């Protein structure tokens, strides 16, 4: 670590008004893109790259990094206000954030999401700055068995987000895994479950399912409620969480930020997996796991600290190994190449004047995000006070645009609508939607790396327990699943006893 160059880079970025301006533009644009369902941070970065061609490389790159950070945070705004995650990484935030919004606490939920995002993002950026080479060496040891074990560990979280019925949660998860099997087989190239449809050959992408699960289903529920339920007024007096509330979730934020940074540093994972793993761990270790999903601050802080921590983590393998941590950093790799820099082990050595300002820009982006988030919270929270008769058509319009915009496909709009109808009836009968999304995210990773591992080992399944990292993830995953099951079961029994006692 060349501290003199690092300090020079920080002063160059932090004290230069032009650089600050570009970070501000990037973060603000990212928040807007992230808050609109269907417009992902990946899409935002890709669309902004052409505008960086005539800029200085550092200015263009820190603007893109700012958009990355702002986009991941922005997804929580729509997740909390209208129950639709603006980005896949905000899907876990719905579980408690939207419930807080329905209680009239949308402002406080956004406030906690902002603080947790700032804490997680800053932690990830600092770890990226000072520990990149060391973490990259660990990430480089991940092969197919380790990726399978990591995904297996992630799927174990289905138990913690299944709600009151483990069976219904597992059924939802299996349904999600079945969706991932539609399309070409990733190894043999044979079509599966396409039923003769050419549109299904490419599979069903994440965005239409995401919007169907959390968008159209909310529209159908909104139509049902328009005539029978009054609009919930959101509380705007106490937007920033109180000091004692922040203290109560501080441990969770620290743990989630570290989990998110580590998962982000593993190539091919991403912020969405980091959010769900952080949420699952927070619920598993909580003294009151039964309260998760009912609208508590800890359920907002955990996924937001996790997914924003993953932003810094995802940059580590990209800058040090030339391997993208997720889809956004893959696009950022393209931006680096366009500006004449080759990501990889020699990047920091050959171009410290570019890499260190990126570190500084990412840290600055967290403070800009905090300022924009806190400054705009009252405006954001007022959205939930709009009459349902106005909001429901707006949400429907956003769902149509969001599902169409990714591939400009009306087929995706139809898929999203069908998933929305299914999700509506699943919700009506008590089947949770989150396990479907988690299975959809992790399913391809499980299948592909399971089969690759067995090919490497010539069909020997012991490859997963003879490699230290994969064995550790599998053992921890099994332990977490068993512990979570009994912990949640006991919590439900306590809740039933409390309810029966109140009735008496």
**Which pLDDT belongs to residue 117?**
94
Please state, in angstroms and rounded to a whole number, the distance separating the CA atoms of residues 150 and 142. 10
Cα–Cα nearest to 315, from 333, 299, 301, 296: 333
Cα–Cα nearest to 451, from 147, 214, 150: 147
Please say if the pLDDT value at position 237 is more than 60.
Answer: no
Identify which has the larger pLDDT, 491 or 429.
429
Segment 240-244 long-range contacts (CB within 8 Å, at least 24 positions apart): 240/108, 240/111, 240/115, 240/374, 240/377, 241/108, 241/111, 241/112, 241/115, 241/297
Cα–Cα nearest to 123, from 243, 278, 345, 239: 278
End-to-end CA distance of the chain, in Å?
66
Integer angstrom CA distances of residue 78 from 174, 246, 314, 494:
27, 22, 24, 34
Please say if the pLDDT value at position 229 is more than 50.
Answer: no
Beta bridge partners of 184: 191
**Which pLDDT belongs to residue 418?**
93
User: If you average pLDDT over residues 144-159, what whole number do you get?
Assistant: 80
Quickly state the pLDDT bin for 195 (edges 50, 70, 90): confident
Quickly state the pLDDT bin for 294 (edges 50, 70, 90): confident
Please say if the pLDDT value at position 287 is more than 90.
Answer: no
Identify which has the larger pLDDT, 484 or 463.
463
Please say if the pLDDT value at position 297 is more than 60.
Answer: yes
Identify which has the larger pLDDT, 161 or 392.
392
Please say if the pLDDT value at position 431 is more than 90.
Answer: no
List the helix and strand counts (H, then E) for the chain.
Answer: 21, 2
447: Cβ contacts below 8 Å, ≥ 6 apart: 180, 181, 186
User: If you average pLDDT over residues 434-451, what whole number do you get?
Assistant: 83
Range of the domain at 336: 3-503
Would you say the C-alpha torsion 387, 434, 236, 380 has a positive or negative sign?
A: negative
pLDDT tens track for 340-349: 887 766 777 7
Please say if the pLDDT value at position 1 is more than 80.
Answer: no
128: Cβ contacts below 8 Å, ≥ 6 apart: 261, 312, 313, 315, 316, 319, 359, 362
Lowest model confidence (mean pLDDT) among 14-23, 367-376, 484-493: 484-493
Please say if the pLDDT value at position 226 is more than 70.
Answer: no
Identify which has the larger pLDDT, 115 or 227.
115
**Which pLDDT belongs to residue 499?**
64
**Which pLDDT belongs to residue 254?**
94
Number of domains in the chain: 1
Identify which has the larger pLDDT, 134 or 104.
104
Token output for 52: 């960086």
HSE of 75, CA atoms in CB hemisphere, 13 A: 34
Neighbours of 55 (CB within 10 A): 15
Token output for 11: 């002063």
Identify which has the larger pLDDT, 199 or 53.
199
Q: Is 49 exposed, middle or buried, given 0-12, 13-18 or 19+ CB atoms closer than 10 A? A: middle
Integer angstrom CA distances of residue 439 from 36, 150, 313, 394:
23, 13, 23, 29
Quickly state the pLDDT bin for 93 (edges 50, 70, 90): very high
Neighbours of 148 (CB within 10 A): 25
Percent of the chain topping pLDDT 90? 19
**Which pLDDT belongs to residue 230?**
47
- For tokens 């004047």, name the residue: 353
Residue by residue, DSSP assigns 48-75 as: HGGGGTTS-HHHHHHHHHHHHHHHHHHH
Q: Is 279 exposed, middle or buried, given 0-12, 13-18 or 19+ CB atoms closer than 10 A? A: buried
210: Cβ contacts below 8 Å, ≥ 6 apart: 37, 85, 88, 91, 437
Please say if the pLDDT value at position 146 is more than 50.
Answer: yes
pLDDT tens track for 250-268: 999 999 999 999 888 877 6
Q: Rounded mean pLDDT of the chain?
A: 82
- Is this prediction's pTM over 0.75? no
**Which pLDDT belongs to residue 165?**
73
User: If you average pLDDT over residues 89-118, what whole number do you get?
Assistant: 88
* DSSP single-letter state for residue 213: I
Please say if the pLDDT value at position 307 is more than 70.
Answer: yes
HSE of 252, CA atoms in CB hemisphere, 13 A: 31
Q: Answer yes or no: are the C-beta atoms of 155 and 446 closer than 8 Å.
A: yes
Lowest model confidence (mean pLDDT) among 100-104, 349-353, 381-385, 470-474: 381-385
How many residues make up the chain in this entry? 504
Please say if the pLDDT value at position 436 is more than 60.
Answer: yes
**Which pLDDT belongs to residue 260?**
92
**Which pLDDT belongs to residue 23?**
92
* DSSP single-letter state for residue 325: S
Token output for 185: 């087989």
């Amino acid at each position: 670590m060349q501290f003199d160059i690092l300090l020079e880079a920080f002063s160059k970025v932090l004290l230069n008004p032009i650089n600050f301006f570009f970070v501000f533009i990037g973060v603000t644009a990212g928040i807007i893109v992230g808050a609109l369902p269907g417009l992902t941070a990946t899409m935002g970065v890709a669309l902004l790259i052409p505008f960086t061609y005539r800029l200085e490389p550092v200015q263009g790159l820190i603007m893109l990094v700012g958009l990355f950070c702002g986009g991941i945070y922005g997804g929580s705004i729509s997740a909390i206000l209208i129950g639709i995650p603006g980005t896949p990484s905000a899907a876990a935030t719905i579980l408690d954030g939207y419930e807080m919004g329905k209680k009239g606490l949308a402002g406080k939920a956004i406030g906690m999401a902002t603080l947790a995002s700032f804490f997680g993002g800053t932690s990830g950026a600092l770890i990226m700055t000072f520990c990149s080479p060391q973490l990259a060496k660990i990430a480089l040891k991940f092969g197919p068995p380790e990726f399978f074990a990591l995904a297996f560990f992630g799927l174990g979280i289905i138990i913690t987000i299944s709600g009151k019925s483990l069976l219904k949660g597992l059924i939802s998860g299996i349904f999600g895994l079945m969706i991932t099997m539609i399309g070409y087989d990733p190894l043999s190239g044979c079509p599966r479950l396409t039923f003769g449809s050419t549109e299904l050959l490419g599979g069903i992408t994440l965005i239409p399912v995401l919007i169907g699960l959390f968008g159209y289903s909310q529209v159908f529920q909104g139509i049902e409620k328009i005539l029978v339920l009054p609009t919930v007024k959101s509380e705007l007096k106490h937007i920033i969480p109180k000091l004692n509330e922040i203290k109560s979730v501080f441990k969770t934020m620290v743990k989630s930020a570290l989990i998110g940074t580590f998962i982000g540093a593993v190539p091919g994972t991403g912020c969405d997996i980091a959010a769900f793993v952080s949420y699952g761990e927070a619920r598993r270790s909580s003294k009151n796991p039964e309260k998760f999903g009912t609208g508590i601050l800890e359920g907002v802080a955990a996924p937001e600290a996790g997914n924003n921590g993953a932003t810094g983590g995802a940059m580590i393998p990209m800058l040090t190994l030339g391997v993208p941590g997720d889809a956004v950093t893959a696009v950022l790799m393209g931006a680096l190449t366009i500006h004449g820099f080759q990501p990889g082990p020699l990047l920091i050595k050959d171009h410290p004047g570019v890499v260190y300002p990126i570190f500084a820009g990412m840290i600055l982006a967290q403070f800009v995000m905090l300022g924009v988030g806190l400054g705009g919270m009252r405006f954001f929270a007022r959205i939930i006070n709009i009459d349902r008769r106005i909001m429901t058509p707006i949400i429907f319009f956003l769902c149509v645009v969001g599902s169409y915009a990714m591939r400009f496909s009306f087929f995706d709009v139809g898929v999203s609508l069908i998933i929305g109808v299914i999700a509506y009836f699943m919700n009506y009968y008590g089947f949770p939607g989150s396990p479907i999304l988690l299975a959809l995210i992790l399913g391809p990773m499980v299948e592909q790396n399971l089969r690759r591992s067995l090919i490497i080992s010539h069909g020997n399944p012991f490859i997963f327990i003879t490699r230290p990292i994969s064995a550790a993830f599998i053992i921890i995953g099994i332990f977490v699943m068993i512990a979570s099951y009994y912990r949640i079961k006991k919590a439900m029994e306590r809740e039933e006893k409390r309810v029966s006692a109140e009735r008496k």
